[in-house]
Amino acid sequence: MKKTKIKIVKLGTQRHEYLYEQLKKYKSNLFEIQIFEKSGLPKMDCGWGYSFNALSNLLVPDFDNTTHDMCIGFIDHSIQDNLYGKCLDNNGKVYIRSFFQAAEFLQSKNIDVFNYMLKSIYRDLTRYIVGRGIGHHDTRGCLFDYCGNKEDITVSTQNLIICSECESKIKSKEIPENYLRNLKNEIKRVKKQRYYRILDFIKRYPILSILIGVGSSFLINILANLILM
């Protein structure tokens, strides 16, 4: 299937510059990205953040659908209604995503902020492909969790899935061949780093972890003695 061309816009100075270098190296069968920067942001017009109208003025006029299929802007500041993201046009092609509070919630659970960036891209890409109207208020660890409680972002970024309800809705739409299969395969890679998954296991099952550690040491000693014999 043809890859979707996504224009990624880094809005203003950001604390997590490394994310964009990681994104340049990321391989996907579904999309290809080109990264742009827009510095010198205007004065905030929504408390200590930006309204949807201001963000739309930053992204929509510069979007050229002859060179890109869709556009996603990322910003460090809060956006209207303290949301994580929003579609900014009527065609479902221009989106904004905010790192505000998300980074702190994720880092408190030892989850890479890059997971959030990838979740945002796969979520908005799928909505571009199949249309809006997919999502749910309850938190399931699904790509389409609304995360009304913003801290719930930690649930769906440590082991990303598509719940059965959302999968059924996607299947009911006209989608490119193999899109859903590729999507499910790729989001399996969006998970907490192995080191922190091991730590989580130890914290959750301390006695079992001790038994595994003792058993492993015992087995290593036996193997070492056999080799030296």
Q: What is the pLDDT along the chain (229 residues), one digit of tens a residue?
A: 789 999 999 999 999 999 999 999 999 999 999 999 999 899 999 989 999 999 999 999 999 989 999 999 999 999 999 999 999 998 999 999 999 999 999 988 889 999 999 999 999 999 999 988 899 999 999 999 999 899 999 998 988 899 999 999 999 998 998 999 999 999 998 875 543 444 443 444 455 445 555 555 655 565 555 565 5
**Would you say 63 and 94 are in contact if contact means Cβ atoms under 8 Å apart?**
yes
Give the orientation angle of helix 164-171 with respect to helix 113-130, to 10 degrees: 40
pTM: 0.84
The DSSP annotation for 171-192 comes to HTS---TTHHHHHHHHHTT-B-
d(CA 175, CA 196): 36
d(CA 166, CA 176): 17
CA angle 43/49/55 to nearest 5° reads: 75
Bridge partners, residue 37, by sequence: 10
The 10 Å CB-count burial string (b at 16+, else e) for 184-195 is eebbeebbbeee
Which residues lie below 8 Å from residue 109, measured CB to CB, with a gap of 6+?
154, 158, 192
